[in-house]
Structure formats: structure tokens, C-alpha cells
């Protein structure tokens, strides 16, 4: 029995060895189409990616178009008053100047009729604005701004929404008009507010700094409108005209404006090119005017000088 079992086992092993390669072949035949399909899918995906890369346009960086100061078609920009200091020129003359942070201002909207450019200044957090205001900035694709102002323009083709205007908007030698809210002084009397001279200062006058008579008698029996009286002083819109730009710092967005500017430190102001004074370079010097001399008067003056000198010598 043991020999018969051994023979059966050997026969079964031989049959199993013969069947194994056949099963491997069947497995390979079954896996072949799956692998081919996977390869085809990967090749198609790679080809689609390459085609997409070829079709996709290359992202080009947005070039900032530099505009010369004389080419701008709007008059001014928004800024912030920082404080006052003094500078010296080449000859050693001292000039008091106001330091102004000019922009950067962002173009928010372009209007055609009438032609205007809306500028924004000083970024602000979203929660400090209302929903309609936030909607306006989101529509323009610009960060929210604290101050928004429109400026009239003659040509909007050189501006684009989102463009930034910096300190190179002005140049040294420009004359500007600066508008701002003056510093509030509170309730003041007439002498401080309007510069009254006041009443007699002697003893017993009883009228030193008071108002006094303010209206007429029976006719018209009322106080005329516009009468200077004590009241609120300051905290009103003021424009100072004809100030000159002494220097421009483009990197720090700073202007040095000769003289004082209305408003307190860190107050928002509007700087516009002056309509009364044109640009004048610092290199230009005033021509020396030679007045014509009347030869008759000149000869008489010489004759009088000789007479006087001769008389002294004779004495």
C-alpha cells in the first residue's frame, strides 16, 4: 500500500507541475489587456496634459506704465500731513516745509460723462465699512480704502482700475493748492476769532474784550447777517493756494511743501496743482533788470558833485 500511495503522489505532483504553467499563461493572458488599457489611459492623460500646457498662455507679469508728471490729466491726489521741518538750499538759505505723505492712491473707477477719476487712499479693515461700501471695492477688485474722492480729468485712457499713483505725480518746482480741515479751537471770543482790537484798557472802562453794540436802532431793528461774533473757531474746510513743492522722495512717497498746510498731523489733505501759478524750475534765476538812466540827469548829478567837491576844496 505504501508503494501505491507513493506512486499516486508522484503522479499528482507531475500533473500539478504540468497544470501550473498553463494557469500562469492564462493569468498572464488575462492581465495583459488590463495592463494595456492602463497604459493607454496614462498615455492619453499625459498627452492631454501636454496639449493643455501647450495651449495655456504664459502668464506675463503686469508692467507698471510710468507716466510723466506733465502727462497726468487729473489735477491732484490724496495725502496725509505728517508734520513740519526745515531744509537748506545750496546757498544756505533756510526754508520751513511741511512733510506730506502723498499716496499711494489707487484708481477705483473711471467715469466718462462727465469725465472723472475716482481715487482711494489709506487702506482700512473690512469690518469698518458697510456692506454696500465693501461691495463697491469687491466689484472693483481693490482693497478697501478709508478716503475716496473724485477728480475731474481730460483723458482717462492712460488710467486703469487698480493702478497706483505715487509721489512721482509731482515734481520739484510745482505750485500746489492744499485743502484740509483746519484744527478746531473750540468756542472763542471776538478778539481771538476775528482780531478785534478791544476796548479801552484803563481802569473803570468796563469794556475790555466784550462785544458791544451789534445792530442798528429801529431800522432795521435786527442784527445783520454776517456780523463777526464770538463762536466756533476752526474745524472748517480751508485751502491754501500757491505753495511750492521743494522736493519729492519717490521711494518713501513724500513731498516737501514750502510753508504751512491746513490741518493737524496725520490729517487727510488734498493736494492739487495750482491754476494760478505754473511750474518753475529751481535752476531758473530771475533776470537782472537794468534800468535805463537819463543821460541829462546823470550829467546834472555829476556836475553837482563836482561843484560840491570844488567848494569844499576852496574853503
Q: What pLDDT is recorded for position 145?
A: 94
DSSP state of 256: E
How far apart (Å, rounded) are the C-alpha atoms in residues 37 and 188? 93
Q: What is the pLDDT along the chain (315 residues), one digit of tens a residue?
A: 456 666 666 677 666 666 555 555 455 555 555 566 566 666 665 465 554 455 444 434 444 567 888 888 999 999 999 999 999 988 899 999 999 999 899 999 999 888 999 999 999 999 999 999 999 999 999 999 999 999 999 988 899 999 999 999 999 999 999 999 999 999 999 999 999 999 998 888 888 999 988 888 888 888 989 999 999 999 999 999 999 999 999 999 999 999 999 999 999 999 999 999 988 888 887 777 887 877 777 777 777 777 666 655 544
Judged on CB neighbours under 10 Å (0-12, 13-18, 19+), 107 is buried
CA angle 99-82-172, nearest 5°? 20
Among 177, 155, 205, CA closest to 272 = 177
CA distances from 11 to 2, 15, 115 (A): 14, 6, 103
pTM of the model: 0.67
CB count in 10 Å sphere of residue 295: 8
Instruction: Give the single-character DSSP code of 153.
Output: B
Amino acid at each position: 500500500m505504501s508503494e501505491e500511495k507513493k506512486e499516486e503522489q508522484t503522479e499528482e505532483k507531475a500533473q500539478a507541475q504540468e497544470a501550473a504553467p498553463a494557469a500562469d499563461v492564462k493569468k498572464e493572458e488575462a492581465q495583459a489587456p488590463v495592463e494595456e488599457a492602463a497604459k493607454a489611459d496614462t498615455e492619453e492623460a499625459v498627452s492631454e496634459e501636454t496639449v493643455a500646457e501647450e495651449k495655456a498662455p504664459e502668464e506675463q507679469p503686469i508692467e507698471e506704465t510710468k507716466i510723466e508728471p506733465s502727462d497726468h490729466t487729473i489735477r491732484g491726489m490724496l495725502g496725509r500731513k505728517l508734520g513740519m521741518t526745515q531744509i537748506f538750499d545750496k546757498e544756505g538759505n533756510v526754508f520751513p516745509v511741511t512733510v506730506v505723505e502723498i499716496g499711494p492712491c489707487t484708481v477705483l473707477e473711471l467715469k466718462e460723462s462727465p469725465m472723472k477719476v475716482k481715487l482711494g487712499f489709506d487702506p482700512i479693515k473690512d469690518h469698518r465699512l458697510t456692506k454696500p461700501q465693501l461691495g463697491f471695492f469687491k466689484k472693483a477688485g481693490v482693497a478697501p480704502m478709508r478716503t475716496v474722492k473724485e477728480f475731474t480729468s481730460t483723458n482717462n485712457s492712460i488710467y486703469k482700475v487698480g493702478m497706483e499713483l505715487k509721489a512721482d505725480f509731482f515734481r520739484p518746482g510745482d505750485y500746489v493748492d492744499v485743502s484740509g480741515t483746519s484744527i478746531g479751537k473750540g468756542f472763542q471770543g471776538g478778539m481771538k476769532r476775528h482780531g478785534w482790537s478791544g476796548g479801552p484798557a484803563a481802569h473803570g472802562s468796563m469794556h475790555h474784550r466784550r462785544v458791544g453794540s451789534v445792530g442798528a436802532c429801529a431800522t432795521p431793528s435786527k442784527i445783520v447777517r454776517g456780523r463777526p461774533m464770538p463762536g466756533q473757531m476752526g474745524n472748517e474746510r480751508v485751502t491754501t493756494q500757491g505753495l511750492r513743492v521743494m522736493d519729492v522722495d519717490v521711494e518713501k512717497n513724500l513731498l516737501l511743501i514750502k510753508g504751512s498746510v491746513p490741518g493737524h498731523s496725520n490729517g487727510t489733505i488734498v493736494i492739487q496743482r495750482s491754476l494760478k501759478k505754473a511750474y518753475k524750475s529751481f535752476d531758473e534765476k530771475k533776470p537782472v533788470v537794468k534800468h535805463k538812466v537819463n543821460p541829462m540827469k546823470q550829467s546834472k548829478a555829476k556836475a553837482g558833485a563836482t561843484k560840491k567837491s570844488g567848494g569844499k576844496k576852496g574853503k
